[in-house]
Every structure is written in C-alpha cells, then in structure tokens.
C-alpha cells in the first residue's frame, strides 16, 4: 500500500495530547496489518477467496460448514501467532506507562496490543484464543503450539467439548451476535469520558463499534484518525493523519514527548 509521507503533526494536536488526562485508542485490522496479520478483508485467500467475510464470520456459516469456518480461524490464528507487535503497538504501550489513563478499545481478535505491553485493552469482538463450546459455552483450551496450516488453508473439523460433546467455536463475536455488555459498556463509558480519541486502522463500517468515535465526539473529545486511506467517518475528526499505524503512532508520541520535555513539570 503506497503510503503518503505523513504530514507534520499539528501543534494543536500535540497540545491536546499533552494536556489530556484520559486517552482512548480505537483500533481495527489496519493496526495489525504491518505485523503481517491480514486485515479482515485480506483474510479471504485460498480456500476462502470466494467467500464474503461478513458471511463467513457468522453462526449460520459455522452451522452450515463447521470445518470450513474452523479451518479459516485456525489459519488466522497461525498468522496471529507468527506475527510480532510493531513500533505502533510499542508506542501505545509506552503511552500507557506515561499517560494518566489510556484505554485501548479494539475490534481486533489478535493479542498484539497485550503482547506489546498494553494492559487496559477492551476486545469488542472477542479473541481468537478464547475458544468455547457452541452448546454449553464451556471454555476449551487450545494446544499451546502454533497451528501449522497450509498457506491456502484447509478444512478442519472443530474439536469437541469434553463435557457435552458439542463443537468448539472461536471466542469471537460473529455478525448477527451481540457484543458482550461487560466489554461494550466500559468501552462506551471510556469514549464518553476521554479528552483525546485516536482511531487507528479501521474502515469504520461495522456497528455498533463504529458508533464509539461519535460518542467521544459528542462528549467534546479531540478526535484523531490514523489511516493511509480516507474513511467514511473522516469528516467527524479534528485531525486526520494520512499514514500507517507503525509510522504515525511513534511519530505522534515522540513529538508529544519532545514537546513535553520542553515544558517544565511534565515527564
Ligand atoms: C450486532 C470478529 C446486535 C469476527 C467482527 C447498523 C447499521 C448497519 C449494520 C448493522 C448495524 N447494527 C448491526 C449491524 C449488523 C452488523 C454490521 O455492522 N454489519 C456491517 C458490515 C454493515 N453488526 C453486527 O452484526 C454486530 N452485532 O449488531 O448484534 C444485532 C444482532 C442482530 C441484528 C441486528 C443487531 C457484530 C459485529 C462484529 C462482527 N465481528 N470480528 C472475526 O474477526 O472473524 S467484525 C470484523 O470486521 C473486525 O472485528 C472489524 O470490526 C471489522 C473489519 O473492519 P476493520 O477492522 O476496519 O478492517 P477493514 O479490513 O475493513 O479495514 C482496514 C482499515 O485499515 C482500512 O481503512 C485501511 O485503509 C486501514 N489500513 C490498512 N493498513 C493500515 C491501515 N491503517 C493504518 N495502518 C496500516 N498499516
Ligand atoms: Zn459443551
């Protein structure tokens, strides 16, 4: 993806960051792209290329063809396990150590934010590793080793639940399924209380997640978008940084930190 040179970071944004007490970062698949995790739309290759993500990531698809869907999630889990956090993830972990309060709200089902060191991460759409029984919801422990999947993918029969024999499903939120309230409520509260809201790497097309930036806007937060491409919600943002996550996040916080060091009394 050709990346335009990131425009200089506006001083007003640096100031907003410097004076912010509560910061929210809202990430999508683009946040993990430079770590080699295919974005949601790019994850449709090989066996799955003729499928539409929104139709594959559904309870109906799993019911109709469990080995096709389980194979897809094992392939994505392999990609996730082989991936490493990038400079953008590390910059967010560094910000958590410095900021008064940082909440990372992610649509991603990978664990790259946590692996980089962020501890306050809300997974709106679940996690690839949190597997459970589709019938009795008993948690299911996956083998520790990295799945060895062919590049083009393959069908794999899902494992069976030890207590009721039901099929095991990925711990993600599928289309048509409601988001877990114990995650959505604190995400909504963080959005309504933040001083600065930073959206990174999302097309902003999936609801109710895509409503959260508007909650922050209505609460008067400064809104920042980081994406190499325009998105339908750009008009709602005070600052749009046209660049990638691994490029813009370290740059943004380096300038904020450097500026801070120019001002007495703030580490
Ligand atoms: C629900 C987990 C109650 C699974 C996912 C209101 C209006 C319209 C539709 C609806 C609505 N309310 C509900 C719906 C239906 C539906 C929905 O939103 N449909 C959309 C498609 C129109 N929502 C639901 O079904 C939700 N549930 O509402 O329940 C209910 C129930 C029944 C009926 C009504 C209501 C559940 C949604 C959650 C689905 N699960 N993931 C899995 O991963 O397999 S969603 C999944 O897709 C991701 O989690 C993510 O949210 C989304 C993908 O979007 P992005 O992350 O943005 O990724 P994308 O590839 O699109 O874009 C990448 C972006 O990054 C691009 O902009 C690109 O330019 C940028 N980029 C690329 N490289 C970089 C970069 N940026 C920075 N750096 C880079 N290097
Ligand atoms: Zn069970």
Per-residue model confidence as pLDDT tens digits over 145-190? 999 999 888 999 999 999 999 999 999 999 999 999 999 999 999 9
Mean per-residue pLDDT, 212-230: 97
* 33 CB near ligand 1 (under 6 Å): yes
Q: Which two tokens stand for residue 25?
A: 């970062």
Pairing of strands 196-200, 168-172: unpaired
Q: What's the CA gap between 109 and 171, in Å, rounded?
A: 9
CA-nearest residue for atom 69, ligand 1, is 229
* 170 CB near ligand 1 (under 6 Å): no
Are 195 and 19 within 8 A, CB to CB?
Answer: yes
Instruction: Please count the other Cβ atoms lying within 10 Å of the Cβ belonging to residue 8.
Output: 9
In the reported structure, the alpha carbon of residue 257 is separated from the centroid of ligand 1 by a whole-number distance in angstroms of 33
**pTM of the entire predicted model:** 0.94
* 109 CB near ligand 1 (under 6 Å): yes
Instruction: Please count the other Cβ atoms lying within 10 Å of the Cβ belonging to residue 61.
Output: 19
- DSSP letter, residue 230: -
Q: What's the CA gap between 209 and 242, in Å, rounded?
A: 22
Length of the chain: 267
| 50-77 pLDDT per residue, tens | 778 878 999 999 999 999 999 999 999 9
Residue 30 three-state SS: helix
Could you list the active site residues? 125
């Amino acid at each position: 993806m050709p990346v335009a040179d990131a425009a200089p970071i506006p001083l007003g944004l640096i100031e907003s960051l410097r004076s912010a007490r509560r910061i929210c970062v809202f990430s999508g698949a683009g946040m993990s792209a430079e770590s080699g995790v295919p974005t949601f739309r790019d994850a449709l290759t090989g066996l799955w290329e003729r499928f539409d993500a929104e139709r594959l990531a559904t309870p109906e698809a799993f019911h109709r063809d469990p080995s096709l869907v389980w194979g897809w999630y094992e392939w994505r889990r392999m990609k996730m396990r082989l991936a490493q956090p990038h400079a953008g993830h590390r910059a967010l972990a560094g910000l958590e150590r410095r900021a008064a309060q940082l909440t990372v709200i992610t649509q991603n089902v990978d664990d790259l934010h946590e692996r980089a060191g962020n501890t306050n991460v809300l997974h709106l759409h679940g996690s690839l590793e949190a597997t459970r029984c589709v019938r009795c919801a008993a948690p299911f422990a996956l083998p520790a080793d990295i799945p060895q999947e062919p590049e083009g993918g393959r069908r794999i029969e899902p494992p069976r639940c030890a207590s009721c024999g039901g099929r095991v499903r990925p711990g993600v939120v599928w289309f048509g399924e409601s988001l877990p309230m114990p995650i959505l409520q604190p995400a909504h509260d963080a959005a309504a209380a933040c001083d600065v809201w930073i959206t990174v790497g999302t097309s902003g097309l999936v609801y109710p997640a895509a409503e959260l930036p508007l909650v922050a806007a209505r609460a008067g937060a400064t809104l920042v978008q980081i994406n190499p491409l325009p998105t339908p919600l750009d008009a709602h943002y005070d600052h749009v940084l046209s660049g990638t996550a691994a490029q813009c996040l370290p740059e943004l916080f380096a300038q904020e930190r450097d500026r801070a060091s120019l001002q007495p009394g703030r580490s």
